[in-house]
Structures are given as C-alpha cells and as structure tokens.
Structure 1
Amino acid sequence: MCQTDTFATSATKRSNKDRLGQTGLLYQLHFATEAMAGRDRVAQLMRQLASAACRCPTHSQSYHKDAGKYCTARNTDYAFEMASSNIRYGEGVTREVGMDVLNMGARKVCVMTDENLSRLPPVKSVLDSLTQSGVPYLVYDSVRVEPTDASFKEAIAFARKEDFDVFVAVGGGSVIDTCKAANLYTCHPEADFLDFVNAPIGKGQPITRALKPLIAVPTTAGTGSETTGVAIFDYEPLKAKTGIASRALRPVLGIVDPLHTLHMPTRVAANSGFDVLCHALESYTALPYSERSPCPPTPLHRPAYQGSNPISDVWARQALHIVAKYMKRAVRDPGDLEARSSMHLASVFAGIGFGNAGVHLCHGMSYPIAGNVKTYRAKDYNVGHPVVPHGLSVVVTSPAVFSFTASMCPDRHLEAAHILGADISSVKLADAGLVLADTLRSFLFDLQVDDGLSALGYGTNDIPALVKGTLPQERVTKLSPRPHTEEDLTELFMASMKLY
C-alpha cells in the first residue's frame, strides 16, 4: 500500500518556516515590552505575529476556518482521527460497575441484556454490584440476537418510558449495539428512526447532541462493540443489514472481564473469533485514509470509518498475532482461561483498529448473508429463529475476498498470511492473494466451519439478492482497496459457495 508524503512534507516545511517567523516576532515583542516600548510598536508587533500565524493543518485556527475551502481543492481526505472508549481489563472487574455509576451521579440505570444471558453469572455480577452501590436500576432482557429495526425500536420504547441517566449493556455485540440505539433515540425523542441510519438506507445525519453515559460489559470476544461508535441491525424492509455510525455512540467505558468468556459455547467462541479475524484483516487492508473520498467539509463530517492508517495498523496487526496464537485453543477448550482471556483482548484490539479504519468487503457482503437467512440455525445459539451468526457470515467469503483485493496491497496480504502461519519465504508478491486465501481455508477447516454459502442454505439462484443486499453497504464497501462492480460481487459470492 502506497501513501504519498508530499502533502505532509510540504506542510512540515511551511510549518517550520512559520514557526521561525513567529519566534523572531515573539523575541521582538518580548524586548519591546521589556523596554516599555510605546503602545503603537507593541500593537504593530502583535499584528505581525497574527499575520504570521501557523497555517499548518494541525495548529492553525485560520486553517480550520477555511477547512471547507481547502477540502474543495482536493478529492481525498488529508487527516485521520483516533477515537476509542476507555477500557478496563481484568478478572473480576465487573464488580466495579456499581462504583462507576455512583461516580457518574446516576439516579436510575438501564441495564440491557438478552434472555439467555439474564440467567448467567455476568448479568448477576453487574446487578449485584449495582445493588451494593444503592443505585436503582431496571433490566431490559429482551434484546434480540442479531437485532432488527423492530427490536431496536422495542428497546428504544422501553428506555423512553423511564428517566434513565446511565445505560449498562451486558452481552455481545447485539446487546451493546441495541443499548447504543436506545441511548441515542432516548436523547433525541423528536428524531425519526431513519434520521441517523447510514445512507443510502437512512439519512445519515450527524449526531450533535451529547448522549447519556453508556458502560459496556462484553461477554463475547468478537464484535469489539465496547470500543466503537457503530450499532448494526437488520433492516427488515430491505432484508439487509445497515447501522448507525458516529463517535457519539461510543461507550464511555468498556469493562472487559475475561471471566465472562468462559460462558461462551464452542461455536459462539469460534464465530466470535472469526469476527475478530476479519476486523483485523479488513482494517489492515482497507483503502488508506489519504485515498478515501470525498474530503469532509468539516471534521464533524469525517466518518468513523476513515480507512487504514498508521495507528489502526498497530492494533490490527497485534490482534492478528493473538488470533494466530490463541484462537484454536480458545475454541477447543472452553476452560482455557489464558486463551479465552487473550481472545477477549484481541477483540478489543481489533475493535480499536477497525473502529477507526473501518472494514470492507467481507463485512459488506456479510449483511445480506445474515439478512436473507432461510432455515439455517447455528449450533450453540439458543434462539427461536433462523440465524447465521455475524462472525460466520463475515468469514465465509474471506478467502474469495482477500484473493480479490490482494493486488492493491500485496505486501499487507502476504504479511497477514505470514502472521497466520504461512511460510512466505519463497512466495512472490503476485501470489499474495492465493497464499492468504489458502491460509484462511486451512484455518477455517481446522475450526470446522461449514463448507461455504451452500452449507448455509444458499444456492446460485440467491446470488442476485445477495448482490442487491451488498450494494447499499457503501459505508464499508467503498473502503475496499480494490474497486469492484456488481459483476465482481457476483463472482465473489459464487466463489464462496464452496470453501474446500
């Protein structure tokens, strides 16, 4: 992946020159003041100092005033932002949640979870801590696994009936995302549901009002939702997943307690881990932030998913290393605390990475795979409806996707294959996609993943609907390093019908 440093270099030169000019003026101003120079001389120096103010993108106030003008002169962005929730990690840290809400001055807390989790130790730990803190709370335990617009609205209606001032989400991504939506629309009672939903399905309006504090207690090691400002759901009218993306949605605190991961059944651990794997791979290979278009007219309009960047790269690579070392152990032995704890951290790392860089085709294509499910019922998921778990819907296309995208940044694809255990000592860059695809197939086979889309109930006749469901996912698909057409998507779905 190549990123031009021309702009940064020229900006640095201008910045250095500006600073030298300012330094001289400051010295003159100092000596003029020391000598009790006349008011006119001091005023003149102040005017000169203002006119020589730094015009670099980082420090200049005048630059920010003219940011919109600057961005109209270029097609792509020039900056990226690093944002994440605060994270507290450690065995047993859940018992501290009562202290947290007390310190926030909470008068009534909304606890959200799902029906299965409501009977398990993670929720009990949270409720015990809240009880000890003496803060009143109400529990909403009707969160839907793989939430829909309808289930979001039910949770929102519950939250609007009470005057909650703090939200606590205990569960996987479905629970945390539902709680984010409830918080958002409770704080915007006048908003239509589609106002904040990503375009083109919704209006994609920016969130400008502060939300209530949200504490996330993740019980799976996959979505990383405790670190991100994204809430994903199935939009049933179109049978496609979409979501709401804004930094304003981020939890103020993620309480990452590895003891909770011991309650994940085997297939839940596997599918959660696949989400971590694809978060890391996709964010690391995403379109560079400096190539993403359009350039936002103001920082407020810069998307949460910005493209790969030097900071997200660090988190993505580290997550891949952990996945390579611990994921198989975590799936095969539910009692392996070291492995499951490590995967919990990998989920956080990958969440920070993709929460700032974004994901691309695997996730974009996964949404219609999950949204169009017919009869498939994943093992170990105790839900009353057909479901293709999110991590499974994402990873099933990964061999085809990374074979397709490798030509744009082969070095990154090859590095990822190496981290995951491939011998790349004699591999040419031109073969990076094939090597990574084969590495992924081997990884999936070892973890007993269903043999492609056909095993999930899809046939070639379903491909047009899957393509149609992918097209609205521009928030993520536009971050693919390689441009793609409908025909490309058709071929990728076809290639994913069988994995082995």
Structure 2
Amino acid sequence: MSQLTYQFWGPTKVLFGAGQLNHLHEQQLPGTKALVVISSGTSARANGYLDRTLAELAQTGVKTVVFDKVQANPTKEQVEEGAFVIREQGCDLVVGLGGGSVLDSAKVMAMFAPQPSDDLWDYAGGFTGRRLPLANPGLPWVAITTTAGTGSEVDSSGVITKLDTREKIDVGSPNGFAAIAVVDPELMLSVPPAFTAYQGFDALFHSLEGHISRLSNPFSDMVQLAAITNVGTYLARAVTDGSDLEARTFLAFANTMSGYSMCTSDCTSEHAMEHAMSAHHPALPHGAGLIMLSRAYFQFWIDRHVCDARFVTMARALGKADASEPQDFIEALVSLQEACGVADLRMSDYGIRREDALTLAQNARATMGGSFPCDPAETTDEEIAGIYEAAWR
C-alpha cells in the first residue's frame, strides 16, 4: 500500500532532550523583540517555564512581550488579538511556550501579523474562509513544547476554531515551520495523568492514521512506526508516574515523529471527525475525542479489509508481538487505553447526542474535506455518521 515516492520539507532546527531549554540562548534567534505566547492557565508561570524562557531570550538580547490568553481550543479571535499585539508592539519574532494549542496559535499569529487584513479568515479555508494568498511572508517563530501530543513544533499549520460557524480547521502556510523547536521532556513532567493520556493518544493517532493513509510512503512508515512503538511502550508509564523522565523523553520523541508523519503523509478522516465534535463542543479535549472515536473508526476500516497487513504491523508496534490478523490491532489499542485509564470515555458526558451523527459527519467533510481523500477508501456521509453512532456512549 505504501507509495514509493514522497516529498519532505522540514526546515526546523530541533533541540531535543532533557535540559535543552537551557541551550536556547546559544542559538542565533531570528528577531530582536518577541511576543511570547502562553496559555490562559497558570502552568507556564507556576512551573517556572515562562521565567526560564524569558531569561534565555534576555541572554540573547531579545526583548519580550507576553501574551497569555490562549485557551485549549484556540479561536480565531484569540489569534487575531495576539497578532494585533505583535503589530502594536513592533515584534519581529513569535515564541510559543506550551502545548499544541499554544504552538498552533503562535505559528498562525506569526503568519497573520504581517498581512494587510484584520480578518484571519481571509487566509483560511473551511466553508467560510476566503483563501486569499498571503501578501507578505510570515514572521519567524520558535516553538517550545511543554506537552507530547500534536507534533506542532515541526509542522506548518495550526488548528483554529471559528465558533460562530463551528469550523475547527487547519490554518497556515507551506512556510509556516518554526525556525527552532525546543523539545525538552523536563518541561512535560508537570502534565497531569489524564492530559498525558489524551496528548499521548493524539500523537499516536497522527501516526496510526498516517500509516493507513493513501499517502503513506517509506519515509512516513519509518517515523510512524517509531512513534507507535514508543507510545505503546512508554505512555502508560508516563500516565502512572509523571516524574518518569525516561518515559517522558521517549513520548516526546514519539510526538515529534508524529509531527514528521504529518509532513510526509497526513491524517485521515478520524481527525476531521473529532474536529467536528470539538467545534460543536469546545470543552471536549481533542485527544479525548479521538479516543472516543478510535475503536469504532479503526474497526470500520478493518471490516472493509482495505489495509489488513498494516493493521497487523501496527498491532505489533503497539506491543502485541504475536499479532497475526487485523483484529489484533483493536485488542492492542483497547489494552493501551485501559492501561492509561481512558477506555471508558463517553461522548454523552460532553453533550454529544447520538442523533447528531449525520450533522457531525457533514461538518467534518465540509470543514476538513482534505482529510477524506487520505482515507484508505472512499466513504459516504452516512458511513461516517455510522462510525459516530457506533462510537457513541
């Protein structure tokens, strides 16, 4: 099933490993005044990560302005507000310090700030975006990730929500990569168990989906199997003991590899389906929504027998060494979810109704339609609705 051609463009310089934040000041930073983007929560300050980052930037002579309003599912308005601060303060660099939502916001702020428009959706897709070309190059940005979930430190777009139209979509440009990414697992030691699990499964699904995608190829196979193997080996350990630095390190590696999966392959419709869920229900954590969908989603493809050998390979990578048939993958996946305490998540707890299935299916295809051609085979809206119904609890 794997294609024998691929294109790869990954210009980000990655500083990977425990303690690497301490080496940021040794890098040649592409700016002199930075907007430092963090979440609206307290963790970046409480854990000292913000002060450490500001100190590293100060050592290089970079002045800083802090923007602390990014929420778990970043919105168009939050990104626009950050971009307006960049313009007002004359910043020529953006630094994202946080999880996937913060990094997504930072990279889109960097893209949008130099443009002549005040409306981010002039440069977005979905079903209301105007898809205008960028008038100016984006600003350079630096990613400092504090979670292992999205791979956003090494890809070029961010997921942004437009609440009034219920669009949760990728916004970005082909040149939107970070100049530098700091992947320091010491910054991930403070992530609580449930969110460690949600984020770890998000990284896992990037690679699982990419591995059954029509775009899979030798390069993507390599990084996907590395990610799947490391999540399968280390995620439950990190959930059980958040201070396990070895487990955190290998999860961080898996996360970055899943980011490269998106650069060389792509996610399939499972991600589009979850985006529809959290676009309608913004309190739903992205990783949790993916977990809710996962068994029914992958069972759908197993039942169609479109990539049987790939499911066996993924089952083995997840740790089921004796896997010999596609159904073994579901067993391995459920076993990992049980070990991480997330096997019983329910859509109904977030207000999702079974009768919403077709509405969600249509939203997924309308807003993230580019994911569906990556699927192993074509689907109808009714089939996608059927997956929602099978996953609903």
Residue matched to 1:224: 151
Residue matched to 1:464: 358
1:82/1:121 Cα in 2 relative to 1: closer, same or farther (>3 Å)? same
Residue matched to 2:315: 417
- TM-score for both structures, normalised by structure 2: 0.92
Residue matched to 1:133: 60
Residue matched to 1:444: 337
> Offset at 1:87?
0.9
1:176/1:99 Cα in 2 relative to 1: closer, same or farther (>3 Å)? same
> Offset at 1:209?
4.0
Residue matched to 1:492: 387
The code of the aligned residue for 1:404 comes to F
1:211 maps to which of 138, 156, 176? 138
CA-atom RMSD in angstroms: 2.0
1:326 maps to which of 234, 256, 259? 234
Q: For 1:86 and 1:133, how far apart are their aligned partners in 2?
A: 17
1:404 maps to which of 300, 322, 339? 300
The code of the aligned residue for 1:496 comes to A
Residue aligned with 1:397, SS? helix
The code of the aligned residue for 1:419 comes to A
1:435/1:338 Cα in 2 relative to 1: closer, same or farther (>3 Å)? same
Superposition map of 1:478-489 within 5 A: 478-489=373-384
Q: For 1:192 and 1:133, how far apart are their aligned partners in 2?
A: 33
> Do 1:84 and 1:352's aligned partners in 2 also have CA atoms closer than 8 Å?
no
1:104 maps to which of 19, 29, 48? 29
> Do 1:109 and 1:168's aligned partners in 2 also have CA atoms closer than 8 Å?
yes
> Which structure has the greater CA radius of gyration?
1
1:464/1:245 Cα in 2 relative to 1: closer, same or farther (>3 Å)? same
Residue matched to 1:389: 285
1:308/1:245 Cα in 2 relative to 1: closer, same or farther (>3 Å)? farther
Q: For 2:31 and 2:101, how far apart are their aligned partners in 1?
A: 24
Q: For 1:84 and 1:312, how far apart are their aligned partners in 2?
A: 17
1:206/1:445 Cα in 2 relative to 1: closer, same or farther (>3 Å)? farther
Residue aligned with 1:482, SS? coil
- TM-score for both structures, normalised by structure 1: 0.73
2:268 maps to which of 340, 360, 365? 360
Residue aligned with 2:374, SS? coil
> Offset at 1:208?
7.0
Superposition map of 1:226-245 within 5 A: 226-245=153-172
Q: Greater shift after overlay, 333-342 or 434-443? A: 434-443
Deviations 1:52-95 (A, max 9, x none): xxxxxxxxxxxxxxxxxxxxxxxxxx753343522111222212
The code of the aligned residue for 1:108 comes to K
1:342 maps to which of 244, 250, 255? 250
Q: For 1:161 and 1:272, how far apart are their aligned partners in 2?
A: 34
Residue matched to 2:347: 453
Residue aligned with 1:396, SS? helix
1:369 aligns with 2:369: no
Q: For 2:30 and 2:292, how far apart are their aligned partners in 1?
A: 45
Deviations 1:446-478 (A, max 9, x none): 222133323433221222332232122112122
Q: Greater shift after overlay, 398-407 or 479-488? A: 398-407
Residue matched to 1:190: 117
1:395/1:464 Cα in 2 relative to 1: closer, same or farther (>3 Å)? same
Q: For 2:118 and 2:374, how far apart are their aligned partners in 1?
A: 29
Deviations 1:317-364 (A, max 9, x none): 100110111010011101111001110111001111123211012101
Q: Greater shift after overlay, 450-459 or 400-409? A: 450-459
Identity score, percent: 27
Q: For 1:132 and 1:216, how far apart are their aligned partners in 2?
A: 18
> Do 2:111 and 2:173's aligned partners in 1 also have CA atoms closer than 8 Å?
no
> Do 1:98 and 1:126's aligned partners in 2 also have CA atoms closer than 8 Å?
no
Deviations 1:96-133 (A, max 9, x none): 32343xx3363211111113234122212101112233
Q: For 1:152 and 1:158, how far apart are their aligned partners in 2?
A: 10
The code of the aligned residue for 1:493 comes to Y
- Uncovered stretches (5+) of structure 1, i.e. residues with no partner: 6-77, 288-306, 374-385
> Offset at 1:423?
5.2
The code of the aligned residue for 1:444 comes to Q
- Report how many aligned residue pairs link the two structures: 387
Superposition map of 1:105-120 within 5 A: 106-115=31-40, 116-119=42-45, 120=47
Q: For 1:99 and 1:210, how far apart are their aligned partners in 2?
A: 26
Residue aligned with 2:189, SS? helix
Q: For 2:255 and 2:69, how far apart are their aligned partners in 1?
A: 25
The code of the aligned residue for 1:487 comes to E
1:139/1:346 Cα in 2 relative to 1: closer, same or farther (>3 Å)? same
> Do 2:2 and 2:216's aligned partners in 1 also have CA atoms closer than 8 Å?
no
Residue matched to 1:121: 48
Residue aligned with 2:196, SS? helix
1:355/1:105 Cα in 2 relative to 1: closer, same or farther (>3 Å)? closer
Q: For 2:216 and 2:294, how far apart are their aligned partners in 1?
A: 18
